[in-house]
Amino acid sequence: MTILARFIRKLYDSIVRDHELVWFIKLAETQHVTWTADEMDITQPTLSRAISRLENELGVSLFSRVGRRLELNEYGKLFYKYARSAVTELEIGKQQVAELASLAAQHIRMGTLHGLVPILIQALVEPFHTRSPATTFYFRLGSPRDILDELELGHLDFILTTTKPDKNEKNWIRVAKQVFYLAVGPGHALADKTKAYLSEVASDDFIVMRSGTAMRNLTTSLCHQAGFTPNIVLESNEIAAIRSLVAYGIGVAIIPKAYTTREPENVTYLDIRDDGIRNFRDIDLVWKSSGSRIPMLNTFLDFALETFGDETRPDLR
């Protein structure tokens, strides 16, 4: 970048709020002070002072007078080229920012766990999209810790999670209770049952979600509550894949209720009947308690509160 180009960028930054660069461009194009002042809705003295400030900053005159007209001299022509480019780039930038802001105004960034996607869609996304069809959703799947961090960093607007919120905070509402079933394949000894004790599959092979996920932790916890450590033979990133592996008789699995109505049909889902075992988890919608929100996010939050209720309605604004 030339010295002049760097200077023009610095100069433009300093005077853009007063529109002096735009006035210079218009004067260069009309070559007439009166016409330019009228078109820019300013006085002639104001325009003259603006041009003088530019020339003082540059240390050279930009115009030569020819009769009643002003013409750009060689310095003015060079400056005009860069000034015009700067204004054009600014207008493009303003337009792109406006387009992005318009998109963001209709965009909601949601984080959730792999096992909660059906609940997110059925309980929140589908009904809200019916009410506000122009809204688009971005989904981020991850562990409870990952999506909570993303929320705190401002990368997500809301998260649907099983992480127990601070009861003293008013930035969450309970959305659902997710119940879990024991899934067994065809030919399994429990395949013709409707209920089972987890201890009945203590010696079976288990198919689970990958380590570190909430579903993996829950499966391990339920088995431990039933008095055994699961013999894990396969891990997967997708619950749908786990269902398919169960259908092939590879092992048994703990599956959320929302996934029990889907194919494959030859998987049997059993109620877990062990006394004292908590075969469900609470699902909460959480948002960042501080900071401002665009109107669309407030609309979504109002919808969630109206739909699921909240005795301690938070101060949203």
Q: Could you tell me if 214 and 195 lie in one domain?
A: yes
Whether residue 316 is contained in a domain is answered as no
**Residues 88-135: pLDDT tens digits?**
887 777 766 765 665 556 788 999 988 888 888 888 999 998 988 888
Identify the domain boundary among 103, 128, 159: 103
Q: Could you tell me if 7 and 70 lie in one domain?
A: yes
**Sign of the Cα pseudo-torsion (198, 199, 200, 201, in order):** positive
Whether residue 218 is contained in a domain is answered as yes
Identify the domain boundary among 103, 138, 158: 103
Q: Could you tell me if 67 and 98 lie in one domain?
A: yes
In 10 A of CB 242, how many CB atoms? 28
Q: Could you tell me if 181 and 201 lie in one domain?
A: yes
Between CA 71 and CA 64 the distance in angstroms is 5
Q: Could you tell me if 188 and 198 lie in one domain?
A: yes
Q: Could you tell me if 243 and 253 lie in one domain?
A: yes
Between CA 116 and CA 162 the distance in angstroms is 9
Q: Specify the pLDDT at position 228.
A: 95
Q: Specify the pLDDT at position 171.
A: 86
Whether residue 161 is contained in a domain is answered as yes
Between CA 303 and CA 177 the distance in angstroms is 19
**CATH number of the structural domain spanning residue 300:** 3.40.190.10
Q: Specify the pLDDT at position 145.
A: 84
Q: pLDDT band for position 313 (50/70/90)?
A: very low
Whether residue 314 is contained in a domain is answered as no
Whether residue 273 is contained in a domain is answered as yes
**pTM value?**
0.58
Q: Could you tell me if 181 and 275 lie in one domain?
A: yes
Q: Could you tell me if 300 and 162 lie in one domain?
A: yes
| Three-class DSSP labels, 38-53 | HHHCCCHHHHHHHHHH
Lowest mean pLDDT among 35-44, 65-74, 181-190, 302-311: 302-311
Whether residue 195 is contained in a domain is answered as yes
Q: Could you tell me if 287 and 276 lie in one domain?
A: no
Q: Specify the pLDDT at position 275.
A: 83
More confident residue, 201 or 19: 201
Q: Could you tell me if 114 and 182 lie in one domain?
A: no
Whether residue 168 is contained in a domain is answered as yes
Whether residue 122 is contained in a domain is answered as yes
**Residues 236-295: pLDDT tens digits?**
988 889 999 999 999 999 998 888 877 777 899 999 988 888 888 888 999 987 666 777
Mean pLDDT of the chain: 83
Between CA 116 and CA 129 the distance in angstroms is 18
**Residues 104-116: pLDDT tens digits?**
567 889 999 888 8
Is the model's pLDDT at 27 over the cut of 70?
Answer: yes
In this structure, the strands spanning 107-112 and 136-141 are: parallel
Identify the domain boundary among 103, 133, 151: 103
What is the distance between the terminal CA atoms of the chain, rounded to a whole angstrom?
46
Residue 255's domain spans which residues? 176-281
Q: Specify the pLDDT at position 165.
A: 61
CA distances 94 to 85, 98, 271, Å, are 14, 6, 58
Is the model's pLDDT at 317 over the cut of 70?
Answer: no
Q: Could you tell me if 169 and 289 lie in one domain?
A: yes
Q: Specify the pLDDT at position 177.
A: 86
Q: Specify the pLDDT at position 60.
A: 92
Q: Could you tell me if 144 and 229 lie in one domain?
A: no
If you average pLDDT over residues 69-93, what whole number do you get? 86
**Sign of the Cα pseudo-torsion (204, 207, 210, 216, in order):** negative
More confident residue, 208 or 281: 208
Between CA 146 and CA 155 the distance in angstroms is 11
Q: How many domains does the chain have?
A: 3
The alpha carbon of residue 143 and the mean position of all alpha carbons in its chain are separated, in whole angstroms, by 16
Q: Which of 284, 305, 279 is nearest to 165 (CA)?
A: 284
